[in-house]
Amino acid sequence: MDWHANLRTVAALTRRAANELLRVPGAAIPGVLAPTIFFLGLFAVFGNLTLLPGFTSSSYQSFLIPISLLQGAGFTGAATGVNLARDIEEGWFDRLLLSPAPRPVLLAGLVLSASLRSLIPAAVLLTVGFALGVHWPGLDGLVIALLIVMGMGTIAACWGATIALRFRSQSGAPLMQAGMLLLILTTTSYAPLALLTGWLQTVARYNPVTQIVEAARQGFVGSVTWGDTWPGLLALAGLLALLSALALRGMRRTAI
């Protein structure tokens, strides 16, 4: 297949995922509702943590919003994995594998749709957040945050696809969601690194997603700098390379 045909395949698979949203509008609700409820709930419950000496922001909602954006992307990506598992169970995926489309192209179609879909919860969360007084991050801060959201959606979709291809059943869904939740929350999600306690402080220091969170947090808290941006983009690229390699390995090992 030439690259033209490959692009058309990717576009068709992305369109198919978008069709699901148009035909089953409720399909996007869990990915939007869960991070929004978590954002509102955590803000209401832990909002006074900003009173602790050493907290880097006086606005907990601004501190929290990047986490919720990444959670939204994580849930959306995991949902892509669940959809793939459903396609495997129903035999639709086997038919795709019989087509002359290369495996990486099939994966690209899946993850591209997740990347675009992750902008839906982001739009809702930002609307809710700004209504609740989240600081305007500036155009540069917003663009960086949205790029990171799309990247995280892609990473989550790769993870979801890896699990779906391994278990070939929707019963792997909790692992898809728990994996992303663990990756995102074991960072500076609730408080700055200096205020975390015990094991979480150590894990957050070495978890590459902490760099991604800090990059997405720029503008919402503090100003946007290249020094805070590149480590996040590097961590994003590294995770993307690792998880897409795992997903591709799963695709290549899938026999019909």
Q: Which part of the chain contacts other proteins (CB under 8 A), choosing from 13-21, 71-79, 172-180, 212-220?
A: 172-180
Told to check if 201 binds other proteins by CB under 8 A, we report yes
Helix (H) or strand (E) holding 5: helix 3-23
Told to check if 44 binds other proteins by CB under 8 A, we report yes
Which residue is it, tokens 């089953």? 24
Judged by CB under 8 A, which of 74, 121, 151, 172 binds other proteins?
A: 172
Which whole-number Å values give the CA distances from 51 to 22, 57, 109, 193, 198, in the listed order? 44, 9, 46, 16, 21
Q: Taking CB under 8 A as the criterion, which residues in 151-170 touch other proteins?
A: 170
Q: Which part of the chain contacts other proteins (CB under 8 A), choosing from 89-97, 122-130, 189-197, 209-217?
A: 189-197
Question: Are 103 and 248 contacting, i.e. CB atoms less than 8 angstroms apart?
Answer: yes
* Minimum separation from the CB atom of position 243 to other proteins (A): 20
Which whole-number Å values give the CA distances from 174 to 54, 89, 180, in the listed order? 36, 17, 10
Closer CB to other proteins, residue 199 or residue 226? 199
Told to check if 65 binds other proteins by CB under 8 A, we report no
User: 60-90 and 173-185 helices cross at what angle (nearest 10)?
Assistant: 160
CB half-sphere exposure, 173, CA atoms < 13 A = 11
Told to check if 206 binds other proteins by CB under 8 A, we report no
Site for other proteins, rule CB under 8 A: 30, 33-34, 37-38, 40-49, 51-52, 170-175, 178, 181-182, 185-186, 189-191, 195-201, 203
